[in-house]
Each structure stands twice: as structure tokens, then as C-alpha cells.
Amino acid sequence: MAVTDTTESFDYIIAGAGSAGCVLANRLSAEPGVRVALIEAGHRDYHPFIHVPAATGAAIGTASLNWRFETAPQANLKNRRLPHHRGRGLGGSSAINGMVYFRGHPLDFDDWTALGARGWSYADVLPYFKRSENNLTYHNSPWHGTQGEMAVSHIKKPNPLNAVFEAAMDSLGYRYRADFNAGDPEGYGPRQMNIRNGRRESMATAFLRPVQSRQNLTIMADTLVRRVIIEGGKAVAVEIEQVGAIRQIAVRREAILAAGAIQSPQILLLSGIGDGAQLQAMGIAVQHHLPGVGANLQDHLSAPVMMETANIDSYGLSLKALPRCAWNLVEYILFRHGALASNLFESAAFIKTRAGLDRPDLQLVYQPARKMLKGAPIPIGHGFVLNPVNLYPRSYGRLSLASPDPHAAPIIDPNLLADPADIRPLLKGIEISRRVFAAPAYARYRAVEVGPGAEITSENGLIEYIKDIAYTVNHPVSTCRMGTGAVDVVDAELRVHGLVGLRVADASIFPKMVGGNINAAVVMVAEKAADMILGRPPLNDENRPDPGEFAWARLAQDSDR
């Protein structure tokens, strides 16, 4: 394909219209006198599966909405290739994810500062979490914002099994947490969601749709970013492809990669920015030797405990539940609430698996529905599931190129369970999940454990089960890590080390994994990045919680229940 040059230019070019890109497009285009281009390889967000919360499974299964990546064979998971879902289209992964709003433990961000990311402590980033938030539940909380673009709310009519889960957790001595985002999240309780009036609040609906008619904002959907053009150590243009035609658009101020932890490093590598020897072996001219590009890849791993029951309280399609399912459809059409207005994962718990930890290292995600069959958009039959998630993996992998062709999927190798310590939280999670389901609150359901299965009790048997079934929860981070070390890619202002006019602002810059879902933190990164790009001082939070309320300063005792 021939490359055609163009005189078209923009002050800021944003690669990727996912969570970070939508926020950046909103904030940067609000600045008078600048031209902003937002470039997205996928389509505009018209598909109906995006907007119905319960259709998440269907959205993930739709080829036009999902890049449908998969990992390299995972040596410690019996050489399985795991699905790796990444959203494709305006909103990115926020258009197909579970819609969970959780920021991470406050100590996670204090760790970022300790690792060299000055200005990213929890006290520094809390104002940015609050700026983007329109919390529909907590109106007078110092932990939350109500004036932002992004709706955050609890499920209005949760499944009754959530109360059963809470009763079981209470009977085991765990504490109730009404708000996981108010300091230390340890305990169990309802999750907060990006749902507005019964519809998914993607970052495109929250941040992009209200400003898409701005004259200084150009949104290019169905447009692939092939590479960034570097001349004299400076980003001067971005090469794009539209309907098979390749052209370059000039950058007057900065190019900002916001394509996520998979595709931001891929774009850097395609641009000749990365490990020089590996780039040369791929036939790519080296523009800047930066060996950390693609390194430090981490993701959260889970292995579920699955129960089946004849009781139809859970979400799911069955002959006995058909009348209720029909009502659910009517209820959603008329009132925008009920089962179809839920993400199906309505409650969770954050737990310390051993004494002496300063924060929970395990998340239990409760699903009041049977595990969905492969290829099915909704649960068939009835049951309930607890999904233990190891929040702080010690294993690191790498993102690398499979080909110099921008259309080729990269090699995604999270190197899961490379550190043997990573299996311990999952084993503990299975043990705790079994205790939860054995609690008196669940007795009347007479549920049968179908995974791992009651017959599997030995540690070796459970380890084999984990290796057979474990999957990532699609939280890839840290492939363009922020910091000052030899394998770090961006500085504390998200500028690519050694280059001018090029930043990265998405989950790839996380100095380390956060202890939970990552979308809220990605939005925060983009909020803070916008101020840095525009040269504004950091936000000052006049309604910050009293320091005495920062519960993470106290090490919990007797945490290994």
C-alpha cells in the first residue's frame, strides 16, 4: 500500500478511544485554540449489546467489538492459550467490561510513589478519581464526587442471592463494607457500577458523546494507528490507515498513546521504540532503544468455585424461569431495571489470606448465576459462583511483536504462575469459597459443587484444577511502566523517556498492579495526564477525607479467619 503525505495537522493526537482516550479527548478539546484528533481502530459504539448491562457476555462474543486476542501458551497452565478480551470501538474495553467501579486499595498508589512515580500517592490521585465521578449513591461523601461525567451507582434491584452471600459472609466473621471505595476495602458488600438509568456507562457515553460535536475535536473511527513517526528524537507525525489507504497526520504538540496495555506498547515497538536488538531482528529500524517497552506485563488470575441448584432464584434461563425471564424483559423495556440492568456480578469481598498483610490480597467475586457455557451470551440453568482473584501476582510476562505488520496480533505472554507463590491465594480462595457455600444461609438451595467438585480435596488435586481452568480477568497492566528504573518507559509526567512530544496514558503505565478492577484507575490516569499535558497544577482536594479516616494506616490484626 502506498503512503500518502498530508498537510493535515493537530495539536494533540490521541491513539485509542478506550477509557483513557475518551477522557483525554474530552479534557484536551475543552482547551480553547487547540485541535485534537482521537483515533480508534474499531467502529462507533452503536451496537445494542454494548448498552444493555446483562449483555456483557454477548458483547464480548461479538467479533466487531472485541480484538479477540489470546495469550501465548502458558507453561504453568498446561500450555493453554487463554482468551484475552480487549474492547474494539469507541469506549474500548469499557464498552465490553463488567462495568465495575473500584479504584484499588489506597496503599497501591502510595506504592507507586515509593517506586519513583512522584505525585501519584493516594492523596495526590484521589481528587482525580473524584473529578470524573458522578456518584448517584453517595452525595455527601468526602471519598466521592458528584459533578463528574461518569455515572457510578449500586444495582437498584440486586438478585436476592446477594443477601444470602452477605449472610454467609457475616456468619463466618467477615465485616460488611457498604462502600469499597471509602478507604480500606477489606470486607464484603455490594459493588459499585458504571451504570446509568439501566444502561452501561462506557467512557464513550460518559466523556465522548457529550462533546463529540466540538469543532476542535476530530474523531476518526475505523482508523488504525500504524506507528508514530520520530525525527530527531521528537514525535512529529502519526501514520494511520483508513480503508486500506495509509497517510500521515502531523503532530504540532504531542502524540499520546492511550491504546491500553496491549496495543500502546505494540505501537511503540512498531514505531522503532523498544529493545533495539529485538526490533532489528524484526526488521524494524530502531528509533530509540528503550528495553522496557512491553516488559513487566501482569494480569489478574482467577479459578472459580461453581455450584448448581434446581432453585431458580439465581439469574439464568430455564423452563421453570421462563415467566420471570419474560417479565425481566418487560421490566427492562418499561423501567430500565431488573436482571437486564445488572452486570450479574453484584457483590464481592476483599480478604487477607494470611495474618500480617497490610491490605487484602484476595478478591472474591460473587456471581448469583451459573457459570456461563462457552459461547452462550446468558447463563443456562441455575447456580452461583465465587471467583477468587489473586490481587497481587508476583509473576511478570512480556508483550512483544509477532510481526512488523500492524494488523498482526502481538504476542501476549503474562507468564502466569511463573512464581509459585501466586497459586497460594487461589488455593486459599477456593477454601474460603467452599466455607461460604457450606454456611447455613445456603442450606436451602441444596447446591452441588461442580467445580472443582467435592471429590477434589487434596492440595495437589486443587492445583491441577487451577491449572486446568484458571483464566485471566482481563486486567493487563505495566507494559509501559512509569518510573525511573532501567526497564521503565515513562516518567512521572507520562513522557516517554528520551523522547519529546510523546506520552503514554493508560493501564500500561501502572508502576504495579492495583488490587482490583482497573478501569477506574485508568480514568484517573487520563484525568491527571490531561492536566500535565496542559501544564496545569495538580488538583487540590478541598473536601479530602480527614487523615484519621484513612483506615489503611492501621495494620489489621486477626485477619486470617
On the CB side of 15, CA atoms within 13 Å amount to 31
- Sign of the C-alpha dihedral, residues 428, 429, 432, 438? negative
Sorted by sequence, the CB contacts under 8 Å of residue 68 that are 6+ apart come out as 83, 85
On the CB side of 54, CA atoms within 13 Å amount to 23
SS (HEC) of 90-126: CCHHHHCCCCEECCCCHHHHHHHHHCCCCCCCHHHHH
> For residue 183, is it left (φ>0), alpha (ψ between -120 and 50) or beta?
left
Count the Cβ atoms, other than its own, within 10 Å of residue 418.
Answer: 16
Active-site annotation holder among 85, 105, 475, 497: 475
Q: Examine the residue annotation and report whether 300 is marked as an active-site residue of this protein.
A: no
SS (HEC) of 39-100: ECCCCCCCCHHHHCHHHHHHHHCCHHHECCEEECCEHHHCCECCEECCECCCCHHHHCCCCE
Burial class (CB in 10 A: 0-12, 13-18, 19+), 444: exposed
Residue 384 phi/psi, 5-degree rounding, is -155, 155
* Residues written for the chain: 561
Residue 422 phi/psi, 5-degree rounding, is -70, -15
**Based on C-alpha coordinates, what's the Rg of the chain?**
23
Burial class (CB in 10 A: 0-12, 13-18, 19+), 212: middle
- Residue 362 CA to residue 385 CA, distance in Å, equals 16
In the structure grid, which three cell numbers stand for residue 437, read together?
457455600
386, 393 in Cβ contact below 8 A? Answer: no
Distance of CA 478 to the CA centre of its chain: 12
- Residue 15 CA to residue 444 CA, distance in Å, equals 53
Active site residues: 475
